[in-house]
Amino acid sequence: MDSKKIKQVMSIVFDVPLESITDDASTDTIPNWDSLRHLNLILALEEELGISIPNEEVGNLITYKLIELIVHECKK
Amino acid sequence: MKKYNEIFVGDKETLSHIITKNDIDKFVDLTGDDNRLHVDEKFAEKTQFKKPVVHGMLGASFISTIIGTKLPGDGALWFSQSLEFLLPVRIGDKLTIKAEVIKKNDSERIIELKTEIYNQNRQIVTKGVAKVKVIETENKTAVSRKITAEVKTALIIGATGGIGNAVCLQLAQDGFNIIIHYNNNKAMAEDIKKKVESYKQKAVVVKADILQETEINEMVTTSYRSFKKIDVVVNCAASSIPNIKFQELLWSDYVQQLEVNIKSTIHIVQAVVPEMIKNGYGKIITIGSVSAEKPNSEWSHYITAKTALIGLTKSLAFELAPKGIRVNMVTPSLVNTELTMNIPEKVKLLAAAQTPLRRLALATDVAGVISFLASDKSDFLAGENIRVNGGQVMI
């Protein structure tokens, strides 16, 4: 469930088609992933998923797999 | 070509040459010296010489020939020459060029030669003294080739680990016989032996607790029963790396890492070095860690030991290199092996994402570099640390 939501958030924030957010999506594969959109991503994930992402993790959310893993940790 | 030690005071060589008009023409073409005394019969007739005189340096150039081709020959570096032109030389004269060693300077490997040129009437036309440095070509390449032709033997410590296993197979493919060391996993060691043998290489399995010096010595003795020599040693042994906050670390945690990385390496090297010194050749390869240069939390015990290993590797390299033993290090970043299986997935994902080549290291990546260090292609490396980290640390 989270996977789908995360991908939807990423698709909206980065303004790319949902199908382009694959499991291997990362800063390398999404050209729109700049620093401003990265901060928007954090805020959108927190709002959509009802979580609080710790400051020390903000810089680590650089691939879809890492986002999924960190979101999962934040929900514990 | 004569070697310096084969040249003695009193050694002599001679050569002869008849001067022709063609020689004069070529000399003029080459040097541009068309002084009419040398080339114009009418002009010469008006001088005291009456006939053209051969260029003095044309005759003297045969001194170069005798030095460059006979005494000492190839590699001669002729750096000084005194000359006195005593009599004119004419076209048609038969010159005999003589060189005789009159002095040797052993420290500089220089010989002095009395050089004299005679005409057909046994008159000295030119005389002088030459100084020549005797340059000898390196023959170390030939020695390396000879070693290459033999089948070498590699002792892989910790062969049943992820990196050790890959190193065994890579070196077997490279043509090494393999001594497969294990401590606990005999079945895996036997499996590696079969794979090594499938590459048509010989393999033996040896067991030893490398924290016990006596067992290391027994392992090396056993190895010498199977193979006459050990050319390469790779220490891939490692212990688990628990994440422990610094304030909770015990001295025993440090000791455990120091024993595996430092104590074992010291004893292994001490066990194999005497024979390597006798052979005048050996390669010792240690495995470092990227964490020594790019530290992370809760690994102080491991990082301390790996950093000490850098110092040990360099100090051994410095001391043993003059004896022909090359000690070098390979430093991988996080390798996906059994040793690192307890590292959290997030750490691995982050490491891969932050690596310019965007993945973790593979055991085969490390084995590939070890293959190079074990080969004679790296014979001029000593105390080197080759990083296999996908670009994580660039120095």
* B231 located within any domain: yes
Domain CATH code at residue B120:
3.10.129.10
Number of cross-chain residue pairs from A and B with Cβ atoms under 8 Å apart: 21
User: What is the predicted pLDDT for the residue at B140?
Assistant: 52
- What is the total count of domains within chain B? 2
> pLDDT band for position A8 (50/70/90)?
very high
Of the candidates B118, B182, B281, B302, the residue annotated as catalytic is B302
Concatenated DSSP letters for B292-305? GTS--TT-HHHHHH
Tell me, yes or no, whether B146 and B123 share the same domain.
Answer: no
- Tell me what the pLDDT averaged over chain B comes to: 92
* B128 located within any domain: yes
Name, in order, each residue with C-beta under 8 angstroms of B322's C-beta and a sequence gap of 6 or more: none
- Could you give the C-alpha distances from A69 to A10, A24, B349, in angstroms and in order? 15, 13, 9
* B195 located within any domain: yes
Q: Of B49 and A13, which is predicted with more confidence?
A: A13
- What is the total count of domains within chain A? 1
User: What is the predicted pLDDT for the residue at B346?
Assistant: 87
Tell me, yes or no, whether B170 and B306 share the same domain.
Answer: yes
Q: Which whole number is the average pLDDT over B112-117?
A: 95
Catalytic site includes residue B254: no
Q: Which residue has the tokens 């005797």?
A: B134
**What residues pair up with B179 in beta bridges, in sequence order?**
B155, B204
* Tokens encoding B251: 């001295």
Tell me, yes or no, whether B168 and B216 share the same domain.
Answer: yes
Pairing of strands B12-18, B94-105: antiparallel
The helix (H) or strand (E) run that includes residue B97 is: strand B94-105
End position of a domain, from candidates B91, B113, B134: B134
User: What is the predicted pLDDT for the residue at B347?
Assistant: 86
With 0-12 / 13-18 / 19 or more C-beta atoms within 10 angstroms meaning exposed / middle / buried, residue B251 is exposed
Let me know the angle formed at the C-alpha of B155 by B152 and B161, rounded to the nearest 5 degrees.
Answer: 135
Structural contact between residues B391 and B353, judged by C-beta atoms closer than 8 angstroms: no
pLDDT over 70 at B270, yes or no:
yes
Q: Which whole number is the average pLDDT over B133-158?
A: 71
- What are the pLDDT digits (tens) for B69-87? 999 988 889 999 999 999 9
Closest CA to A56 of A73, A76, A44: A73
- What are the pLDDT digits (tens) for B213-263? 999 999 999 999 999 899 999 999 988 888 899 999 999 999 999 999 999
Let me know the angle formed at the C-alpha of B261 by B181 and B235, rounded to the nearest 5 degrees.
Answer: 35
Q: What is the rounded CA–CA span in Å between residue B87 and residue A65?
A: 94
Tell me, yes or no, whether B260 and B118 share the same domain.
Answer: no
Does the distance separating the beta carbons of B346 and A69 come in below 8 Å?
yes
* Tokens encoding A75: 């929900």
Tell me, yes or no, whether B130 and B261 share the same domain.
Answer: no
- Could you give the C-alpha distances from B27 to B22, B47, B54, in angstroms and in order? 9, 22, 10
* B394 located within any domain: no
Tell me, yes or no, whether B236 and B326 share the same domain.
Answer: yes
Q: What is the rounded CA–CA span in Å between residue B186 and residue B367?
A: 21
Using DSSP, state whether A5 is helix, strand or coil: helix
Does the distance separating the beta carbons of A26 and B349 come in below 8 Å?
no
The percentage of chain B sitting over the pLDDT mark of 70, rounded to a whole number, equals: 96
Tell me, yes or no, whether B111 and B160 share the same domain.
Answer: no
d(CA A66, nearest CA chain B) in Å: 6
* B395 located within any domain: no
Q: Which whole number is the average pLDDT over B181-188?
A: 96
d(CA A71, nearest CA chain B) in Å: 11
The helix (H) or strand (E) run that includes residue B282 is: strand B282-287
> pLDDT band for position B138 (50/70/90)?
low
User: What is the predicted pLDDT for the residue at B337?
Assistant: 82
Residues on chain B touching A60 (C-beta within 8 angstroms): 346, 350
User: What is the predicted pLDDT for the residue at B144?
Assistant: 47
Chain B contact for A60, CB < 8 A?
yes
What DSSP state is assigned to residue B82? -
User: What is the predicted pLDDT for the residue at A75?
Assistant: 85
User: What is the predicted pLDDT for the residue at B391?
Assistant: 94
Closest CA to B328 of B377, B259, B263, B293: B377
* B393 located within any domain: no
Residue B350 has its nearest CB partner, among A28, A66, A73, at A66
Structural contact between residues B162 and B362, judged by C-beta atoms closer than 8 angstroms: no
Residue of B nearest to A25 (CA): B353
Let me know the angle formed at the C-alpha of B169 by B265 and B329, rounded to the nearest 5 degrees.
Answer: 35
- Respond yes or no on whether the N-terminal peptide bond of residue B72 is cis (omega within 30° of 0): yes
Q: Which residue has the tokens 């809760």?
A: B298
Domain CATH code at residue A28:
1.10.1200.10
Q: What is the rounded CA–CA span in Å between residue B180 and residue B159?
A: 6
Name, in order, each residue with C-beta under 8 angstroms of B120's C-beta and a sequence gap of 6 or more: B93, B94
Per-residue b/e over B59-81, b at no fewer than 16 CB within 10 Å?
bbebbbebbbebbbbeebeeeeb
Residue A70 has its nearest CB partner, among B346, B354, B358, at B346
Size of chain A, expressed as the number of residues it contains: 76
Secondary-structure percent of chain A, ordered helix, strand, coil, rounded to 5 = 60, 5, 35
* Tokens encoding B382: 């000593």
Name, in order, each residue with C-beta under 8 angstroms of B170's C-beta and a sequence gap of 6 or more: B364, B367, B368, B370, B371
d(CA A65, nearest CA chain B) in Å: 8
User: What is the predicted pLDDT for the residue at A62?
Assistant: 94
Q: Of B287 and B139, which is predicted with more confidence?
A: B287
User: What is the predicted pLDDT for the residue at B75?
Assistant: 81
User: What is the predicted pLDDT for the residue at B139?
Assistant: 54
User: What is the predicted pLDDT for the residue at B142?
Assistant: 45
Structural contact between residues B173 and B370, judged by C-beta atoms closer than 8 angstroms: no
Task: Indicate the range of B10-19, B301-310, B364-373 predicted with least confidence.
Answer: B10-19
End position of a domain, from candidates B85, B118, B134: B134
User: What is the predicted pLDDT for the residue at B109?
Assistant: 86
- What are the pLDDT digits (tens) for A31-70? 999 999 999 999 999 999 999 999 999 999 999 999 999 9
Tell me, yes or no, whether B160 and B272 share the same domain.
Answer: yes
The percentage of chain B sitting over the pLDDT mark of 90, rounded to a whole number, equals: 78
Does the distance separating the beta carbons of A63 and B346 come in below 8 Å?
no
pLDDT over 80 at B284, yes or no:
yes
pLDDT over 90 at B196, yes or no:
yes
Tell me, yes or no, whether B79 and B153 share the same domain.
Answer: no
Count of CA atoms in the C-beta half-sphere (13 A) of B36: 9
Tell me, yes or no, whether B170 and B291 share the same domain.
Answer: yes
End position of a domain, from candidates B115, B134, B153: B134
Q: Which whole number is the average pLDDT over B3-19?
A: 90
Tell me, yes or no, whether B120 and B228 share the same domain.
Answer: no
Chain B contact for A28, CB < 8 A?
yes
Structural domain span for residue A30:
2-75
What DSSP state is assigned to residue B378? G
Tell me, yes or no, whether B260 and B286 share the same domain.
Answer: yes
Chain B contact for A66, CB < 8 A?
yes
Q: What is the rounded CA–CA span in Å between residue B261 and residue B246?
A: 20
Structural domain span for residue B106:
4-134
Q: What is the rounded CA–CA span in Å between residue B204 and residue B356?
A: 39
Q: Which residue has the tokens 């067991």?
A: B207
Name, in order, each residue with C-beta under 8 angstroms of B102's C-beta and a sequence gap of 6 or more: B9, B112, B113, B114, B129
Size of chain B, expressed as the number of residues it contains: 395
> pLDDT band for position A1 (50/70/90)?
low
Let me know the angle formed at the C-alpha of B174 by B168 and B178, rounded to the nearest 5 degrees.
Answer: 35
